[in-house]
Amino acid sequence: MTLAETVDIRVHGPASAPALIYLPGLHGDWTLIAGFRRAVNGKVRFVETTYPRTLTWTLDDYAAGVETALAAAGIESGWLLGESFSSQVVWVMAARKQFRIQGLILAGGFARHPVPLGAHFARRLVGAVSLRMISPLLRAYAQMARFRYRNSPEVRGSIQEFIARRTPLDKQAAEHRLLLVAENDPGLLARQVSVPLYALTGALDPIVPWFGVQRWLKRNCPALRDYKIIWRADHNVLATAPEAAAKQILGWMRAEESRASV
């Protein structure tokens, strides 16, 4: 890990509220989380992270980078919300025990990818597609998102940032993250998790088929408390169903707080 490669964070909400720390998916930044942030506003201390566009970091480096950023911000404990790729970072952080984790939540996450060859294929696909080919898709996404979130200025404001961050180096960083996913098997780490574990996903998810993930977690993770499927959402469940996801996650956090106070 180099000094130039650091994890950036933004913190929203009072220090007295429980910390909910969002670790992003393959895109590696906070540009798709505005709707969810709005849904939890005032209810938690919401921490957003953005990863560097590194081509060398291991999953352990990612975990250490997050821990360093949280420590610099004075955040000593909290819930980890690992989206997709970052579920792999979450397992490592739980094993390292450098940060005091109150609970783990996977959003479209997994232990080992249920289709490892699919992760390898996705990496080759990302590498083969040029930014010029992607640009029309990004423009179409922007138009759809602006209409969908026309009553949410905060979300609409993040759309342009999301598109602007899709650079050649960003694409290479995504390829590298896909390689980490394809080669990683955190099964042993997942089995040994000792803090409360929750998971949610969208029903329409060809990227990480949830039925295989749900079955594996239920059979192998004693720490799993609940696995929720949000039927109208897709793989990016925090963005496509922010209100439902927020309600579910806040409910889990309150339930654990009640258990701890008994």
Distance of alpha carbon 81 from alpha carbon 66, whole angstroms: 12
Mean pLDDT of the chain: 89
Distance of alpha carbon 83 from alpha carbon 99, whole angstroms: 18
Classify the C-alpha dihedral 213-218-222-225 as positive or negative. Answer: positive
Question: In which band, very low, low, confident or very high, does the pLDDT at 70 lie, cut at 50, 70 and 90?
Answer: very high
The confidence score (pLDDT) of residue 109 equals 97
- Please state the pTM of the whole predicted model: 0.92
Angle ∠(27,45,40) on CA atoms, nearest 5: 70
pLDDT digits (tens, 9 = 90+) for 99-110: 999 999 999 999
- pLDDT, average across residues 214-222: 97
Distance of alpha carbon 26 from alpha carbon 235, whole angstroms: 11
Question: In which band, very low, low, confident or very high, does the pLDDT at 160 lie, cut at 50, 70 and 90?
Answer: confident
- For residue 22, the 8-state DSSP code is E
Question: In which band, very low, low, confident or very high, does the pLDDT at 172 lie, cut at 50, 70 and 90?
Answer: very high
Residue 135 has pLDDT above 70, yes or no: no
Distance of alpha carbon 119 from alpha carbon 207, whole angstroms: 9
Question: In which band, very low, low, confident or very high, does the pLDDT at 144 lie, cut at 50, 70 and 90?
Answer: low
What domains, with CATH codes, occur in the chain? 8-113+185-261 (3.40.50.1820)
